Amino acid sequence: MSSLQSASLARVKPSATIAVSARARELKREGRDVIGLGAGEPDFDTPDNVKQAAIDAIMRGETKYTDADGMPELKQAICRKFARENGLSYEPAQIHVAPGGKPVIFNALVATLSPGDEVIVPAPYWVSYPDMVLLAGGEPVVAVGEEKDGFKLRPETLDAAITPRTKWLILNSPSNPTGAAYSRAELEALAAVLRRHPQVWVLTDDMYEHLVYGDFEYTTIAQVAPDLMDRTLTVNGVSKAYAMTGWRIGYAGGPKPLIDLMRKVASQTTSNPTSISQWAAVEALDGPQDFIAERKAAFERRRDLVVSMLNQTSGISCATPEGAFYVYPSIAGLIGKTTESGVVIDGDSTFTTELLNAEGVAVVQGEAFGLSPYFRISYATSEAVLEEACGRIQRFCASLR
Ligand SMILES: Cc1ncc(COP(=O)(O)O)c(C=O)c1O
């Protein structure tokens, strides 16, 4: 009997982060006291002015189809955002809007990858990149950014990963899962490599751009290397910056020939993102931005709390990342130790399973992000909850023999 599952879907794993959240919910239903630090979503609410814009759009009757890749009013607001915040000059015809950042990336990959085409995915990577490449028919090529380099891709590692079949490099700064963000000088060094390989396009996922801390200055590659703009897709969205994960609006700016191909994909699959959410996104981008700084300050305090408590935990070391709301601590000091129930910690998957069983703290194993032995904590929750969770992690690690 032939398999129900398609050959291309058979190459794909379900999302590990969604699996951790599901397991945490299951334990909660069983009555366990579980703290979930697995989900990648701000705990803040969508701002009221944005909600009101959606309500107004409904009442005005803006409830019909729009252009498949976004309505002109939103594309214009996105052009203003790119000009104001990134110094990038795009026209509305160079903008793609889709139901979230995820479909924006997927549409770009489906639009451009032929069998055998390679996509360089720096590890630790966001869980979805390799699987989206596989689903789109391409081949992910993982290139590791080591902890000693702040989990960032070195130019020589990039150079060594490029082949004549390389179609894309995916950059993600600040990164999910490490929080690492590339400085201007680091992006310039990568751009110098890319100049020698004109067949390689760059997809930069800037979803966490507004969440950078201290005096770190955010830049994106098209800004640092304007000569690469004709092969760069700059992806962003309202999910993280405006606490709008459920509204499903992501967008990108790029060369018109690529944007035209992405529209062709959207026109035969999703059609337009929800008209109401598009009007909300116009208000998010054009409306007051001051709440972003307040939320950013809260995230920075949480980052500092978590990093400090983890570094006081036996066997764990945690670098201080530049941005996002994740940390990526190492458990190298715990490998080979044994839990009270007799399980040997042989890697990060065992560590995260045992931590959940013993202390009810849900985190995601580094294996899912392509670099072990680490785990990811999402600190998008209150300081009180983070303090409790880190206290439990300390107790668990101290109990290992
Ligand atoms: C790096 C990165 N890119 C893209 C996305 C997807 O964003 P959206 O919810 O808008 O699809 C996420 C969400 O977790 C992310 O972490």
Contact indicator for 176, 210 with CB cutoff of 8 Å: no
Verify that 89 and 141 share a domain, yes or no: yes
Nearest to 165 by CA among 116, 120, 198, 202: 116
Q: Is residue 57 part of a domain?
A: no
- Ligand 1 pocket test: pick from 204, 240, 249, 364 the residue with the most ligand atoms within 8 Å of its Cβ: 240
Distance 1 CA to ligand 1 centre (A): 37
Q: What is the pLDDT of residue 209?
A: 97
Give the position, in ligand 1's atom list, of the atom nearest the Cα of 238: 10
Residue 102 in contact with ligand 1 by CB distance below 6 A: yes
Q: What is the pLDDT of residue 208?
A: 97
Distance 347 CA to ligand 1 centre (A): 27
Distance 322 CA to ligand 1 centre (A): 18
Letter for the amino acid at 62? E
Q: What is the pLDDT of residue 33?
A: 94
Mean pLDDT of successive 10-residue segments in the chain (401 residues)?
A: 86 81 88 90 93 98 98 98 98 98 98 98 97 96 98 98 98 98 98 98 98 97 98 97 96 98 98 98 97 94 98 97 98 97 96 94 96 97 97 98 95
Where are the extended beta strands (E) located within 74-230? 95-98, 118-123, 139-144, 166-172, 201-205
Residue 239 in contact with ligand 1 by CB distance below 6 A: yes
Q: What is the pLDDT of residue 15?
A: 78
Q: Whose CA is nearest to atom 16 of ligand 1?
A: 176
Verify that 13 and 96 share a domain, yes or no: no
Verify that 245 and 357 share a domain, yes or no: no
Q: What is the pLDDT of residue 237?
A: 98
The domain total for the chain is: 2
Q: What is the pLDDT of residue 305?
A: 98
CB atoms near residue 384 (< 10 Å): 8
Query: Which residue, of 286, 302, 322, is where some domain finishes?
Result: 286
Contact indicator for 143, 157 with CB cutoff of 8 Å: yes
Q: What is the pLDDT of residue 235?
A: 98
Verify that 250 and 308 share a domain, yes or no: no
Nearest to 183 by CA among 153, 219, 155, 151: 219
CATH (domain of 386)? 3.90.1150.10
Distance 315 CA to ligand 1 centre (A): 31
Q: What is the pLDDT of residue 19?
A: 78
Residue 179 in contact with ligand 1 by CB distance below 6 A: no
- Cα-based torsion angle of the residue sequence 84, 85, 90, 94 in order, rounded to the nearest 10 degrees: -130
Residue 329 in contact with ligand 1 by CB distance below 6 A: no
Q: Is residue 51 part of a domain?
A: no
Verify that 243 and 103 share a domain, yes or no: yes
Verify that 133 and 265 share a domain, yes or no: yes
Distance 208 CA to ligand 1 centre (A): 9
Q: Quick check: helix, strand or coil at residue 366?
A: helix
Q: What is the pLDDT of residue 1?
A: 59
Verify that 217 and 357 share a domain, yes or no: no
Q: How far apart are CA 313 and CA 399, in angstroms?
A: 11
Q: Is residue 358 part of a domain?
A: yes
Q: What is the pLDDT of residue 38?
A: 87
Query: Which residue, of 223, 256, 286, is where some domain finishes?
Result: 286
The pair phi, psi for residue 204, each rounded to 5°, is -105, 125
Verify that 134 and 250 share a domain, yes or no: yes
Q: Is residue 351 part of a domain?
A: yes
Distance 335 CA to ligand 1 centre (A): 31
Q: Encoding tokens for residue 281? A: 């996104």
Q: Is residue 59 part of a domain?
A: no
Distance 53 CA to ligand 1 centre (A): 23
Verify that 231 and 188 share a domain, yes or no: yes
**Tally of helices (H runs) and strands (E runs) in the chain:** 14, 12
Q: Is residue 193 part of a domain?
A: yes
Q: What is the pLDDT of residue 281?
A: 98
Query: Which residue, of 232, 265, 286, is where some domain finishes?
Result: 286
CATH (domain of 163)? 3.40.640.10
Residue 237 in contact with ligand 1 by CB distance below 6 A: yes
Distance 400 CA to ligand 1 centre (A): 35
Verify that 116 and 238 share a domain, yes or no: yes
- Ligand 1 pocket test: pick from 178, 220, 239, 245 the residue with the most ligand atoms within 8 Å of its Cβ: 239
Residue 174 in contact with ligand 1 by CB distance below 6 A: no
Verify that 211 and 297 share a domain, yes or no: no
Verify that 254 and 149 share a domain, yes or no: yes
Q: Quick check: helix, strand or coil at residue 270?
A: coil
Distance 60 CA to ligand 1 centre (A): 30
Q: How far apart are CA 156 and CA 150, in angstroms?
A: 15
Please enumerate in sequence order all residues whose Cβ is within 8 A of that of 209, keeping only pairs 6 or more positions apart, or say none: 85, 174, 218, 220, 236, 241
Q: Whose CA is nearest to atom 1 of ligand 1?
A: 176
Q: What is the pLDDT of residue 104?
A: 98
Domain span holding position 159:
65-286
Q: What is the pLDDT of residue 195?
A: 98
Residue that has been written with the tokens 């949480």 in this structure: 302
